[in-house]
Amino acid sequence: MPQTPTGLLGFDDLGAAIEAGEIDTVLTCAVDMQGRLMGKRFTASHFMASAHEETHCCNYLLATDLEMGTPEGYATTSWSRGYGDYVMKPDLGTIRRLPWLEGTAMVLCDLLDHHTHEEVPQSPRTILKRQVARAEAMGFTPFCATELEFFLFEGTLRENAAKGYAGLTPISDYNEDYHIFQTSKEEGVMRPLRNHLVAAGVPVENSKGEAEAGQEELNIRYAPAMDCAAHHVIAKHAAKEIAWAQGKSATFIPKWAADRVGSSSHVHQSLWSGDTSAFFDEADALAMSATAKSYLAGQLKYAADLTVFLAPYVNSYKRFAKGTFAPTKIAWSVDNRTAGFRLCGDGTKAVRVECRIGGSDLNPYLALAALLAAGLAGIEEGLELGPPVTGDVYDAADLPDIPTTLRDATETLRGSAMLRAAMGDAVVDHYVRAAEWEQEEFDRAVTDWELKRGFERA
């Protein structure tokens, strides 16, 4: 069975560290719709005295866009409803040090209704919790791992923003995929990132150069789904903070330039029953159990339904391009990086499904929840898995396309009976509105491309 990560602090351990003068600040953090950490910095003494029970935040934190704007159209909160409070309930099983911030620990919080103290259904942590509980009711423990790809640039985020993100200089000069010499130049950021995350209880396995100048990949050990999502969010946050401290910029936008490859976040998944992989069957030619086959068949059937949760922004869809290692087709294959779903570890007890559709901008709680919902639906429906595709999947004209725009993916999500059954109408409608708003904001924008193309010639 994959190892459960260690490195967390118990509540009493936190108290002892505070008493010893090692920790003076505790971050209480909720995860917003975009997968960012939102919350408060408590003095350690106040956290121990009362804030460990609960604190509060404005309920707009689950109804904002990337700019922290307040779009209309959400059922949960609005100007007309007065933007009230949510309760932030610290999950004391998630306390950890943040070694890259002096004297600081953090804890993840669940968001509760201020009046009923029930978990808010639209909260990303709650959405994933409920799919994990569904799996557990079927006798399975979901284990996952996400790969984080991102770019590092010279200059701080503020400096690059001041230039309008023009003339960006990647931290390295050429494709650095697996390139040790190139990545040695980046160790000022990547070494503290790896080591600080391990000290924070995030079980990093390795980092490597990716297939573009300045592109990094961070790989974190397989873990239970809730832990995996937390590791992803914390690692992404740490990458930005540590790069900032070193005078560099880290970005997780999937496609920062038309002539550069994009950044993904591949998701590895398997189900376990106790200490045994429910995906493994030594009698099968690929070592895939019937459970694994139905699980993958469910993800293939419902891939378009869940694409918004894997590609949540307009820019996300710029990444899907032939010959870039980003998929364009809904298909599965055996160890073939041109397909949307890849079987890894075939013939071994490590057999697992890798979804390659997600971009570096995904919210891992939502992505894992949607993938689990689709896979579990495949098991419940007893779906049969067709044969794997071979060769260059990009050129397979008879295979369905991954949705090519946010607008198309949004409409598919809106009509998804499977996700409405798995997550509830209120959750689906909430995230449909988030996707609609993103599209509306883009449709109002005038881009540099339009100005350059038409300013003189139109």
The pLDDT tens digits for 201-251 are 999 999 998 888 889 999 999 999 999 999 999 999 999 999 999 999 999
pLDDT exceeds 80 at position 363: yes
Determine contact, residues 422/380, Cβ cutoff 8 Å. no
Q: Which residues contact 404 (CB under 8 A, 6 or more apart)?
A: 317, 320
Segment 370-375 mean pLDDT:
98
Residue 424's nearest CA partner among 121, 208, 30, 167 is 121
What are the φ/ψ torsions at residue 165 (nearest 5 degrees)?
60, 25
| Domain 11-121 matches domain 132-449 at the CATH topology level | no
Tell me, what's the pLDDT at 447? 92
Tally of CB atoms within 10 A around 115:
9
What average pLDDT does the chain have?
A: 93
Among the ranges given (83-87, 117-121, 413-417), the one the predictor scored with the smallest mean pLDDT: 83-87
Q: pLDDT per residue over 260-285, tens digit each?
A: 999 999 999 999 999 999 999 999 99
Structural domain spans, the chain: 11-121, 132-449
Q: Is the pLDDT of residue 5 over 70?
A: no
More confident residue, 336 or 205: 205
Give the confidence band of 175 by pLDDT, cuts at 50, 70, 90.
Answer: confident
According to the model, what pLDDT value does residue 397 have? Answer: 83
Q: State the Cα–Cα distance between residues 250 and 258, nearest whole angstrom.
A: 18
* Mean pLDDT, range 193-198, rounded to an integer: 96
- Which of 138, 101, 86, 71 shows the shortest CA–CA distance to 422? 138
Structure tokens, 237: 């946050």
136 CB-near residues (< 8 Å, 6+ apart): none
User: CATH top-level class for 11-121?
Assistant: alpha beta
CATH 3.30.590.10 for domain 132-449: yes
Three-class SS string for 182-238?
HHHCCHHHHHHHHHHHHHCCCCEEEEEECCCCCEEEEEECCEEHHHHHHHHHHHHHH
Identify the DSSP state of 82. T
Question: What crossing angle do the helices spanning 406-414 and 425-444 adopt, rounded to 10°?
Answer: 160
Q: What is residue 135's predicted lDDT score, i.e. its pLDDT?
A: 98
pLDDT value, residue 19: 94
Q: Does position 90 have pLDDT exceeding 90, yes or no?
A: yes
Q: Collapsing DSSP states into helix, strand and coil, what is residue 332? A: strand
The average pLDDT across 302-312 equals: 97
% of residues, the chain, pLDDT over 70 = 99
For the stretch 397-449, pLDDT in tens is 889 999 999 999 999 999 999 999 999 999 999 999 999 999 999 999 999 99
What single letter denotes the amino acid at residue 200? A
Task: Specify the pLDDT at position 391.
Answer: 86
CA distances from 206 to 178, 181, 219, 284, 320 (A): 11, 16, 5, 31, 26
Structural tokens at position 25? 């600040």
Helix locations, 20-72, DSSP H: 44-46
The average pLDDT across 51-59 equals: 92
* pTM of the entire predicted model: 0.95
